[in-house]
Structure 1
Amino acid sequence: MKTAKILVLSDEPVKALWDFYSPERLEGIDLIISCGDLPPDYLSFLATMFNGDVLYVQGNHDGKYLRKPPEGCINIDQKIYKWRGLRIMGLGGSIRYKEGPFMYSQNEMFRRYVSMWFQLFRSHGIDVLVTHAPAKGINDGPDRPHEGFETFIEILDKYHPKFFIHGHVHMNYGHYPRMTEYNGTKVINAYQRYVIEIELPE
């Protein structure tokens, strides 16, 4: 069984991948996925240095992407992107706690998911769910800005992806784990950076 190494990123740039970059930092990495709230120049730099795809969804602080999206990167928000047989579904944004782009109510996120019905039907499910915000009740925060989405639980319960990758809840807040599990899906907090290994379809 072939496997791939995926570098997942979120919320804070890593100096080792930007200010102090050297080629060996990305050695062995097959795909890069950003879960949001990262400077567009950071992702553009990685896309230039990395010999592979850089995928992203927007975070709640990524209004600047409307004026200057990351160059050389692929926006997978509300899309199912197929990569080496993997079906990767993206849903960016956070719960709406103030006015601004890429923030949604619970109902709005549900409607964004429902609008993907034909993509989901055609792909026969998903292998990886990529979001910015966490799911409701899975390592989300007690405060309104860090509340998770109920819709993501529905997606996990219906499609059972291998991985659910999100950001938004910074691990330096002190009480958010890097990895947990929900009904067989590995849930990864992509804060700063983390590498996952996933089996590729035959």
Structure 2
Amino acid sequence: MKILIVSDEESKYIWDHFDPSRFKGIELILSCGDLKAEYLSFLVTMIKAPLFYVHGNHDTTYITKPPEGCENIEDKVVKFNGVRIMGLGGSNRYSQGSHQYTEKQMKWRITKLKFRLWKNKGIDILLTHAPVYKIGDGEDLCHRGFQCFIDFMDKYHPKLLLHGHQHLNYGKGQRIHQYKTTKIINAFGYHIIEI
């Protein structure tokens, strides 16, 4: 299955100069957060594939104006064409803003999904906004990843962990990392993957 992943920065190439041939065969779109609702609605309209998303730490307008035609999978496990996807948006808590969590709070969100993980016999993709601790994350509190994502990968072995938040133009330009059996991909901008 061919999947378009997006996060953090709207692509001018896609939004201003959309070329349908470039996205031929895309069956699913996954958003790792911090994108305008209008952009996500545009993607799902032009590409004609379902779009699942989680919140970024700046997605405060989604409360009053969510992206049309898209599905929020925060704190859920969903299946699409046999692929099991779990959504955990938000970043490390650095202020009083929404969609920010302490390590303990993020761990609790995972704990609350244990039954769904058991029922679905694990997952294939973990969709997050924040990165993994010490794997492509930042030094500052805002961009630091979550340790509990490492614990999650150790226990459930998802094929992919897709995240955003850490912009590739921040100086850590590596898009793809490997942790044991899990490929970790930074969705900054846009990227096409196959599973």
Shorter-chain TM-score bucket reads over 0.9
CA distance in 2, matches of 1:53, 1:154: 30
Query: Gaps spanning 5+ residues in structure 1: where?
Result: none
> For residues 118-129 of structure 1, what are the structure 2 equivalents within 5 Å?
118-129=115-126
Task: Kindly provide the amino acid, as one letter, of the partner of residue 73 in structure 2.
Answer: I
1:47-77 deviation per Cα after TM superposition (whole angstroms, max 9, x unaligned) = 1112221110000000111111100001111
- Which residue of structure 1 lines up, in the alignment, with residue 40 of structure 2? 43
- Which residue of structure 2 lines up, in the alignment, with residue 130 of structure 1? 127
2:49 to 41, 48, 52: 52
1:178 positional shift: 0.6
CA distance in 2, matches of 1:176, 1:159: 27
Task: Kindly provide the amino acid, as one letter, of the partner of residue 124 in structure 2.
Answer: D
1:22 positional shift: 2.8
8 Å CA contact 1:94–1:103 kept in 2: the answer is: yes
> Does 2:176 match 1:179?
yes
8 Å CA contact 1:11–1:36 kept in 2: the answer is: yes
- Which residue of structure 2 lines up, in the alignment, with residue 197 of structure 1? 194
CA distance in 2, matches of 1:133, 1:104: 10
> Does 2:37 match 1:78?
no
CA distance in 2, matches of 1:160, 1:117: 14
- Which residue of structure 1 lines up, in the alignment, with residue 137 of structure 2? 140
Q: Secondary structure at the match of 1:81?
A: strand
CA distance in 1, matches of 2:194, 2:23: 14
1:184 positional shift: 1.4
What is the number of equivalent residue pairs in this alignment?
195
Query: Gaps spanning 5+ residues in structure 2: where?
Result: none
- Which residue of structure 1 lines up, in the alignment, with residue 13 of structure 2? 16
Task: Kindly provide the amino acid, as one letter, of the partner of residue 31 in structure 1.
Answer: L
1:163 positional shift: 0.7
TM-score after normalising by structure 1: 0.94
After the TM superposition, list the runs of 4 or more consecutive aligned residues in structure 1 that deviate by more than 3 angstroms: none
8 Å CA contact 1:16–1:25 kept in 2: the answer is: no
- Which residue of structure 2 lines up, in the alignment, with residue 114 of structure 1? 111
8 Å CA contact 1:169–1:176 kept in 2: the answer is: no
CA distance in 2, matches of 1:69, 1:81: 19
1:25 positional shift: 3.1
CA distance in 2, matches of 1:25, 1:143: 36
C-alpha RMSD of the superposition: 0.9
1:83-113 deviation per Cα after TM superposition (whole angstroms, max 9, x unaligned) = 1111011100000101111001111111111
1:7-62 deviation per Cα after TM superposition (whole angstroms, max 9, x unaligned) = 10000001122121132232121111000000000001111112221110000000
CA distance in 1, matches of 2:124, 2:169: 28
CA distance in 1, matches of 2:191, 2:47: 16
Task: Kindly provide the amino acid, as one letter, of the partner of residue 178 in structure 2.
Answer: E
